[in-house]
């Protein structure tokens, strides 16, 4: 009986020792793992990984779309800028409106009416003065001036490009109104030389918001081709 008692106690003691050793070893390793990884099952981790990868792919495609949009936007902006420069898009902004028309003075017998009507070169001078004063866009009688616009006269009418103008000539220019106005009104300037001396009718008004249409003329390059910056032969 005594031996039996001892034997079972020793046996369980031995086994308990082995078990204690195993459990402590296991705990040590397990705690180390948990310190490194969150206490999650492999499947859960795999799911998380998959989700993250899907989100990554989504974000990557989003980035690609946004990049494309940015480049599109840049290109659009560039195109818009060029169109504005070329006069191919309607513009609006502050500026001045000039109304110019032939003199209403009763002419005497000896006076030549030629001096009392608006000539195309006067219009040209006016437009040039406006450009020089910093006008950004100009329209004459609601016809926008493009980069190749020229004035000419055919008999008694003035042509801008191929369009006939009839008085009164309404010139609208977008730019700093004060600058434009001062450029025309300065002593020895356009108004003094061309208007007052011929008694032409001339009105300048400042407009807060002008709207100019797009250039409607043709743009064709028959002789010119695009070349590199360096030029030369």
Partner 1 sequence: MLIPIIGALIGILIGWRLPFEIPVNLVKYTAIAILAALDAIMGGIRAQLGQKFLFSKFISSFFANTALAALLCYLGDLMGVDIYIGAVVAFSIRLFQNLSLIREELFDRFWWWRSGRSDKDM
Residues at the interface with partner 1 (CB under 8 A): 1, 4-5, 7-26, 28-30, 32-33
* CA 209 – CA 35 distance, rounded (Å): 70
Strands 143-144 and 137-140: antiparallel
Shortest Å, Cβ 40 to partner 1: 15
**Tokens matching residue 28:** 């040590």
User: Of 14 and 70, which CB lies nearer to partner 1 in the complex structure?
Assistant: 14
**Left (φ > 0), alpha (ψ -120 to 50) or beta: where does 46 sit?**
alpha
Shortest Å, Cβ 52 to partner 1: 23
**Tokens matching residue 222:** 């028959």
* CA 24 – CA 30 distance, rounded (Å): 10
User: Of 22 and 82, which CB lies nearer to partner 1 in the complex structure?
Assistant: 22
**Calculated CA dihedral for residues 17, 23, 25, 30, nearest 10 degrees:** 180
User: Of 20 and 150, which CB lies nearer to partner 1 in the complex structure?
Assistant: 20
User: Of 23 and 48, which CB lies nearer to partner 1 in the complex structure?
Assistant: 23
Shortest Å, Cβ 53 to partner 1: 24
Shortest Å, Cβ 36 to partner 1: 9
Shortest Å, Cβ 44 to partner 1: 16
Shortest Å, Cβ 15 to partner 1: 5
User: Of 5 and 226, which CB lies nearer to partner 1 in the complex structure?
Assistant: 5
β strands within the chain, DSSP E: 91-101, 137-140, 143-144, 151-154, 157-160, 163-165, 169-174, 201-212
Q: Are 148 and 223 in contact (CB under 8 A)?
A: no
CA angle 83, 76, 62 (to 5 degrees): 180
User: Of 34 and 77, which CB lies nearer to partner 1 in the complex structure?
Assistant: 34
């Amino acid at each position: 009986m005594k031996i039996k008692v001892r034997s079972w106690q020793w046996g369980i003691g031995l086994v308990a020792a082995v078990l204690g050793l195993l459990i402590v070893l296991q705990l040590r390793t397990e705690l180390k793992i948990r310190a490194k990884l969150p206490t999650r099952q492999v499947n859960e981790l795999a799911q998380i990984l998959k989700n993250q990868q899907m989100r990554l792919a989504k974000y990557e495609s989003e980035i690609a779309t946004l990049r494309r949009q940015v480049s599109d936007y840049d290109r659009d902006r560039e195109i818009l800028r060029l169109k504005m420069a070329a006069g191919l898009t309607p513009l609006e902004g502050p500026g001045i409106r000039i109304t110019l028309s032939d003199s209403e003075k009763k002419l005497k017998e000896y006076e030549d009416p030629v001096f009392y009507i608006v000539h195309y070169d006067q219009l040209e001078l006016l437009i040039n003065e406006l450009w020089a004063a910093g006008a950004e866009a100009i329209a004459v009688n609601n016809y926008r001036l493009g980069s190749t616009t020229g004035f000419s006269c055919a008999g008694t009418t003035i042509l801008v490009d191929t369009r006939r103008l009839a008085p009164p000539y309404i010139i609208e220019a977008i730019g700093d109104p004060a600058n434009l106005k001062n450029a025309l009104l300065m002593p020895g300037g356009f108004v003094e030389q061309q208007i007052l001396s011929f008694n032409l009718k001339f009105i300048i008004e400042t407009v807060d918001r002008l709207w100019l249409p797009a250039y409607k003329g043709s743009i064709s390059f028959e002789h010119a081709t695009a070349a590199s910056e360096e030029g030369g032969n």
